[in-house]
């Protein structure tokens, strides 16, 4: 396999990029550009050197930019559907699922994730919560939520492919929907390793996130941050 030598077999990056970007309001989000490069191009470029193949789930009627080192498939109705289709389109032994909407992916995070996968077969990048957390009740302070032991889940998430296929099949059979893939594995009662993530891995979801991404791109593209 390419680059990483502590995992046996082939590794594929699976990039769900078929969302409509409703909260951002600029059309299909993966094609929105930050400093001249789309979120999708940035995510593929971060992963392609570290894996054997890259597969991308796209919205109907769209195609990959020319020259991008990736293969496209048609995405599904939901993120979960898109990831299931991606899983079915590869025979890799290990898969890394990464949101196109998280364009700033440091290589050291991918290395740490790949290193963590063999122990349990399932691992996700996540960040310990740093803010005070509170329940909102009708717009008022409804009570503190202790933040100790709480992590905010990011992507990439890495799995033995067979394990994630099993988790997706079980979820589909039972009509269960989760907002991420590690949650489907955890739901089977199986362990998921948490790998410390990175603040720069935020998901571009709202116009405010896009403004942050434009600012970060200036140092990221100049190579003047510490990634
Ligand atoms: N049917 C879908 C829905 C989402 N995604 C992908 O899953 C990732 C996380 O989804 P999100 O940030 O929610 O993107 P959107 O669904 O595009 O955003 P919104 O919910 O605001 O419409 C994105 O890379 C998105 O393209 C996908 O592949 N297929
Ligand atoms: C997968 C994910 O990015 C982990 O935090 C998140 O759950 C995606 O959520 P979304 O509502 O589909 O953006």
Distance CA 42, CA 120 (A): 29
What is the model's pLDDT at position 7? Answer: 62
Count other Cβ atoms within 10 Å, centred on residue 185. Answer: 28
Site to probe by mutation for ligand 2, drawn from 179, 185, 192, 204 as the one with most ligand atoms within 8 Å of Cβ, is 179
H or E stretch including 54? strand 53-58
For residue 6, report the distance from its CA to the centre of ligand 1, in Å.
31
Site to probe by mutation for ligand 1, drawn from 40, 43, 79, 180 as the one with most ligand atoms within 8 Å of Cβ, is 79
Residue nearest to atom 10 of ligand 1 (CA): 19
Residues 112-121, buried b or exposed e (16+ Cβ, 10 A)?
Answer: bbbbbbeeeb
| Ligand nearest to C-alpha 204 | 1
What is the model's pLDDT at position 17? Answer: 98
- Listing DSSP states for 115-156 in one string gives HHHHHHSEEEEEEE--S-EEEEETTEEEEEE--TT-EEEEEE
What is the model's pLDDT at position 224? Answer: 72
Residues with CB under 6 A from ligand 1: 16-23, 29-30, 57, 75-79, 82, 99-101, 203, 205
- Listing DSSP states for 57-86 in one string gives EE-TT--PPTT-S-EEEE--SSHHHHHHHH
- Name the burial class of residue 133, with classes exposed (0-12), middle (13-18) and buried (19+) by CB atoms within 10 angstroms of its CB: exposed
Please compute, for residue 19, the number of CA atoms within 13 A of its CA located in the half-sphere on the CB side. Answer: 24
Q: What is the ipTM of this complex?
A: 0.98
Distance CA 40, CA 51 (A): 16
- How wide is the angle at C-alpha 72 spanned by C-alphas 2 and 201, nearest 5°? 65
What is the model's pLDDT at position 3? Answer: 43
- Tens-level pLDDT at each residue, the chain (227 residues): 444 545 679 999 999 999 999 999 999 999 999 999 999 999 999 999 999 999 999 999 999 999 999 999 999 999 999 999 999 999 999 999 999 999 999 999 999 999 999 999 999 999 999 999 999 999 999 999 999 999 999 999 999 999 999 999 999 999 999 999 999 999 999 999 999 999 999 999 999 999 999 999 999 999 876 55
């Amino acid at each position: 396999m390419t680059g990483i030598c502590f995992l046996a077999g082939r590794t594929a990056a699976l990039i769900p990029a078929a969302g409509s970007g409703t909260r951002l309001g600029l059309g299909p989000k993966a094609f929105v550009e930050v400093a001249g490069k789309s979120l999708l191009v940035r995510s593929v470029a971060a992963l392609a050197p570290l894996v054997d193949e890259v597969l991308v789930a796209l919205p109907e009627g769209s195609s990959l930019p020319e020259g991008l080192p990736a293969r496209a498939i048609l995405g599904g109705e939901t993120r979960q559907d898109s990831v299931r289709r991606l899983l079915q389109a590869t025979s890799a032994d290990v898969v890394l699922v990464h949101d196109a909407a998280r364009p700033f992916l440091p290589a050291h995070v991918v290395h740490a994730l790949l290193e963590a996968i063999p122990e349990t077969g399932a691992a996700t990048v996540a960040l310990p919560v740093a803010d005070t957390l509170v329940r909102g009740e009708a717009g008022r302070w409804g009570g503190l939520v202790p933040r100790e032991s709480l992590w905010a889940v990011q992507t990439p998430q890495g799995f033995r492919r067979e394990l994630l296929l099993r988790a997706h099949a079980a979820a589909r059979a039972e009509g269960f929907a989760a907002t991420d893939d590690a949650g489907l594995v955890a739901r089977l009662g199986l362990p998921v390793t948490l790998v410390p993530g990175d603040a720069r891995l935020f998901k571009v979801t709202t116009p405010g996130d896009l403004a942050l991404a434009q600012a970060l791109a200036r140092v990221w593209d100049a190579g003047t941050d510490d990634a």
